[in-house]
Each structure stands twice: as C-alpha cells, then as structure tokens.
C-alpha cells in the first residue's frame, strides 16, 4: 500500500469508517481514486473535517484537484459548464457557471466565497457550511435549491 493511501485509510478508520468502506478500500488507490472516494464519501469527510485542507493541498496538485472539481484554498478558479459534483472549501474564491441542461451539486465550506451563475434549464443544488459566502445569479428557467447547514454562512440570490 502506498504511503498516502495508507495514511488516509488509517485516519478514516480512526474516525469510524464503516466496515463496508474499510473492506472495499483498495491496497493501492491512485490519486484519482482517492479524490473520487473523498467526493463520494463527502458527508463522512465533512462530519469529521477529514482530511484537513492542509493535507489535501500538500499531497495533491492544484490543477489535478481543479480537474476533479475540487477547489481547496484555491484563489481565482473559474469552472462549471458541466454536470457533476463541485466542492469548494478552505479559503477559496471563484466562480461556477452552469447553463443548458446542466445538473450539478455544489458543496461550499469553510471561509470560501463563490459566485454561481445558473441559466437555461440548468438545475443546481447548493450545500452551504461554516462561514462561506455564496452569491447566486439565476436566469431564465434555471432552478437553484440551497440547503444551509450553518447559520453563519451568507447566501445572496438574485
């Protein structure tokens, strides 16, 4: 098992990773598989604030994280225009744009600030945590649903 994989699995188990995920965790996950696992298990990771943003930043390349729609302490990102899951956390600042028939889920955490533009027939579900700031601009028949998981997050919609 490579060192990064072993560290992540061991820490997840310390936080109470369930038996199914522990058993299914491969001995030699690639970086891509580890990030995919993080996004699939995001509820567990948010609950335990695991792994910390510093760890992610030190062990994964910024461009690689961007390609996986994961923005960690990422200043000035601009992404979107495709369906999927987007995670914005740490002290990130950027924009996400969705249009046409895009369907996306956006998780915004920590002190991140994100501007989200949704147009056409797009549908976006936004989860807001911690002290994040989210500005949403909706056009046409686009739909946006926001779920606030913290009273201290700020959400602006136009």
What pLDDT was estimated at residue 158? 82
Going from the C-alpha of 44 to that of each of 41, 49, 98, the distances in angstroms are 6, 8, 27
What one-character-per-residue DSSP string does the chain give? --HHHHHHHHHHHHTT--HHHHHH--TT--HHHHHHHHHHTHHHHHHHT-S-HHHHHHHS-HHHHHHTTEEES-EEEEEESS-EEEEEESS-EEEEEE-TT-EEEEEE-TT-EEEEEE-TT-EEEEEE-TT-EEEEEE-TT-EEEEEE--TT-EEEE-
- Cα–Cα distance measured from residue 25 to residue 22, given in angstroms and rounded to the nearest whole number: 5
What pLDDT was estimated at residue 81? 85
What pLDDT was estimated at residue 28? 85
Q: Whole-model pTM?
A: 0.94
Residue 64 has pLDDT above 70, yes or no: yes
At residue 1 the predicted structure's pLDDT band, cuts being 50, 70 and 90, is low
What pLDDT was estimated at residue 35? 96
Report the share of the chain in percent with pLDDT over 90. Answer: 88
Q: What is the pLDDT of residues 95-119, one digit of tens each?
A: 999 999 999 999 999 999 999 999 9
Range 66-85 average pLDDT: 94
Q: What is the pLDDT of residues 133-150, one digit of tens each?
A: 999 999 999 999 999 999
């Amino acid at each position: 098992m490579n060192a990064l994989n072993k560290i992540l699995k061991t820490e997840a188990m310390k936080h109470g990773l369930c038996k199914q995920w522990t058993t299914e965790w491969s001995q030699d996950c690639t970086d891509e598989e580890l990030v995919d696992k993080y996004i699939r298990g995001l509820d567990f990771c948010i609950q335990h604030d695991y792994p910390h943003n510093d760890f992610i930043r030190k062990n994964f390349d910024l461009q690689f994280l961007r390609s996986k729609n994961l923005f960690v302490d990422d200043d000035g990102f601009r992404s979107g225009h495709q369906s999927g899951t987007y995670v914005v956390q740490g002290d990130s600042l950027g924009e996400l744009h969705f249009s046409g028939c895009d369907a996306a889920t956006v998780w915004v955490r920590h002190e991140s600030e994100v501007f989200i533009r949704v147009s056409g027939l797009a549908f976006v579900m936004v989860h807001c945590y911690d002290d994040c700031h989210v500005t949403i601009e909706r056009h046409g028949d686009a739909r946006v649903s926001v779920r606030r998981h913290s009273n201290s997050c700020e959400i602006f919609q136009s």
